[in-house]
């Protein structure tokens, strides 16, 4: 399809569908979502020339995983976002099956440059992938510079999701990969420029670093320094459940250790979010020195096509922006400080759990300090449980109707709960664990409380933060 034709179809989809999507009562009030169509992985998250830029996988023509390009928003404060021109549309032969995920950097001349995977699927079921560049054209769009890296020997057509950074001496790239014998790995390249890359080798994956068998594909790698450690975030596919761990169809987690520019020595794999929907996160470092993260509050191939928002022409949203930090050598997450600006008037309750008020929880921030055992019910399909040593999120599956659980250890600290029209993000013990999920209440949900013991509740309604 020619670019002008795809642009015309995109404009038609926006004109025909934007009002319908915006009128959906499940539409987020302060999380990012695409104006129409399907959103998935966050891409190209960067602070550049005084603005935060976030790109995202986007199919503007429908809610299926096809026609994948990159949408683009920018902000000065992580709260109020401006729609920019679509950054990438899949119109070149080397990306004919989609402009897949990647990252963004300021190049040697300070120009915003995108590094992404061009995906090509063939009629016989085989596929290949190219790592490609596109550069800011100075008019709000991007000029494609074409592929700079082909498939390495010994790997399938599943090599994608480049995350690129400069270490002060050279460019480095990590890629998610699947070997020809179905082992997931993270590959490392180095380059003197963004156009020329040298193979270094796999630095993590199934059968490496003491992990044992650990999936057939590792997607969306992100390697960075934080404090005195290096962290590798990635999304292994094909990892079997182990007790209360790895219960989602695909996993998302972190490894911590030390990276010397060639090798990554690391410890155990830990889930980054223990809820129902969280995948493909990407981080950046901003001018304040914070390591910030956005994740996709979705999961490929698991119940997504039965979400009720599809009837309104849109699907999926981002997580809230989060800051990563260490707490006793444990990677923690907290909502960025800027989100406090959305808070309305505070209300407070202290007393028996059963006497807590029926608060409106359509868009709200809750801080909970409970004791004993109890449960907060949010609408008709979501419950947050606590008991000594454990917090659990219970959700009614909107496809099957069954109740399902996700659990996290709890040291007894404050539970911070951020709610939007169809999402919950619960930060446990200052973010040592997070439980995130989508849910679709029939109307404005109210809190109801059951249990024993005491609770302190701080409640703030959250104002809308509109995309402009």
pLDDT of 3 = 84
Clarify whether residues 297 and 380 are in a common domain. Answer: no
In 3D space, the residue among 342, 347, 344 whose CA is nearest the CA of residue 359 turns out to be 347
Clarify whether residues 225 and 319 are in a common domain. Answer: yes
* Beta strands at 314-315 and 37-48: parallel, antiparallel or unpaired: parallel
List residues bridging with 408 in a β-sheet: 391
pLDDT of 383 = 98
Distance CA 453, CA 262 (A): 53
Distance CA 368, CA 417 (A): 8
In the chain, how many domains are there?
A: 2
Q: Which domain holds residue 453?
A: 343-461
pLDDT of 183 = 98
Distance CA 392, CA 408 (A): 6
Clarify whether residues 155 and 288 are in a common domain. Answer: yes
Clarify whether residues 151 and 67 are in a common domain. Answer: yes
Distance CA 373, CA 454 (A): 9
Q: Is residue 88 part of a domain?
A: yes
The answer to whether 282 and 293 have CB atoms below 8 angstroms apart is yes
CATH number (domain holding residue 437): 2.60.120.560
Clarify whether residues 274 and 358 are in a common domain. Answer: no
Residue from 5, 24, 41, 420 carrying the catalytic annotation? 41
Clarify whether residues 165 and 281 are in a common domain. Answer: yes
List residues bridging with 385 in a β-sheet: 375, 392
Clarify whether residues 278 and 382 are in a common domain. Answer: no
Helix (H) and strand (E) counts in the chain: 1, 33
Point out the domain boundary residue: 335, 366, 381.
335
pLDDT of 200 = 98
pLDDT of 4 = 84
Clarify whether residues 307 and 373 are in a common domain. Answer: no
pLDDT of 1 = 66
The answer to whether 317 and 294 have CB atoms below 8 angstroms apart is no
Place of tokens 């359509």: 362
Q: Is residue 468 part of a domain?
A: no
Task: Show the low-confidence residues of the chain (pLDDT under 70).
Answer: 1, 468
- For residue 8, the surrounding DSSP H or E stretch is helix 3-22
pTM above 0.75, yes or no: yes
pLDDT of 171 = 98
Clarify whether residues 100 and 213 are in a common domain. Answer: yes
In 3D space, the residue among 3, 67, 1 whose CA is nearest the CA of residue 34 turns out to be 67
Clarify whether residues 278 and 390 are in a common domain. Answer: no
Clarify whether residues 401 and 372 are in a common domain. Answer: yes
Is 41 a known active-site residue? yes
- For residue 143, the surrounding DSSP H or E stretch is strand 142-149
Output the six-digit token pair for 326.
């260490």
Clarify whether residues 293 and 257 are in a common domain. Answer: yes
Point out the domain boundary residue: 315, 335, 355.
335
């Amino acid at each position: 399809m020619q670019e002008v034709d795809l642009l015309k179809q995109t404009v038609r989809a926006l004109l025909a569908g934007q009002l319908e999507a915006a009128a959906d009562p499940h539409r987020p009030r302060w999380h990012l979502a695409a104006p129409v169509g399907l959103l998935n992985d966050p891409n190209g998250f960067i602070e550049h020339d005084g603005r935060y830029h976030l790109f995202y996988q986007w199919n503007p023509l429908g809610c299926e995983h096809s026609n994948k390009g990159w949408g683009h928003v920018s902000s000065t404060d992580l709260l109020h976002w401006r729609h920019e021109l679509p950054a990438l549309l899949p119109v070149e032969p080397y990306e004919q099956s989609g402009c897949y995920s990647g990252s963004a950097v300021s190049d040697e001349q300070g120009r915003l440059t995108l590094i992404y995977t061009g995906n090509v699927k063939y009629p016989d079921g085989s596929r290949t992938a190219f790592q490609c560049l596109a550069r800011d054209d100075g008019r709000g769009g991007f000029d494609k510079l074409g592929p700079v890296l082909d498939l390495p020997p010994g790997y399938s057509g599943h090599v994608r999701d480049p995350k690129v950074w400069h270490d002060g001496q050279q460019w480095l790239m990590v890629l998610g990969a699947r070997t020809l014998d179905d082992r997931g790995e993270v590959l490392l390249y180095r380059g003197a420029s963004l156009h020329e890359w040298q193979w270094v080798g796999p630095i993590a994956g199934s059968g490496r670093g003491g992990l044992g068998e650990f999936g057939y594909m590792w997607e969306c790698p992100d390697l960075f320094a934080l404090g005195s450690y290096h962290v590798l975030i990635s999304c292994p596919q094909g990892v079997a459940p182990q007790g209360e761990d790895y219960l989602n169809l695909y996993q998302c987690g972190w490894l911590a250790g030390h990276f010397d520019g060639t090798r990554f020595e690391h410890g155990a794999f830990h889930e980054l979010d223990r809820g129902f929907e969280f995948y493909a996160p990407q981080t950046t470092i901003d001018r304040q020195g914070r390591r910030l993260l956005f994740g996709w509050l979705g999961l490929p191939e698991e119940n997504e096509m039965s979400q009720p928002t599809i009837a309104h022409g849109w699907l999926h949203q981002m997580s809230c922006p989060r800051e990563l930090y260490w707490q006793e050598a444990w990677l923690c997450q907290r909502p960025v400080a800027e989100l406090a600006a959305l808070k309305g008037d505070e209300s407070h309750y202290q007393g028996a759990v059963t006497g807590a008020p029926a608060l409106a929880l359509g868009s709200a921030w809750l801080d909970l300090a409970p004791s004993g055992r109890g449960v907060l019910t949010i609408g008709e399909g979501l419950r947050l449980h606590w008991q000594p040593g454990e917090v659990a999120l219970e959700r009614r599956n909107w496809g099957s109707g069954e109740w399902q659980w996700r659990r996290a250890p709890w040291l007894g600290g404050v539970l911070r709960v951020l709610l939007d029209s169809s999402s919950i993000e619960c930060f446990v013990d200052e973010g040592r664990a997070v439980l995130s999920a989508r849910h679709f209440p029939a109307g404005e949900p109210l809190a109801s409380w059951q249990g024993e013991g005491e609770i302190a509740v701080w409640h703030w309604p959250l104002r809308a933060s509109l995309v402009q």
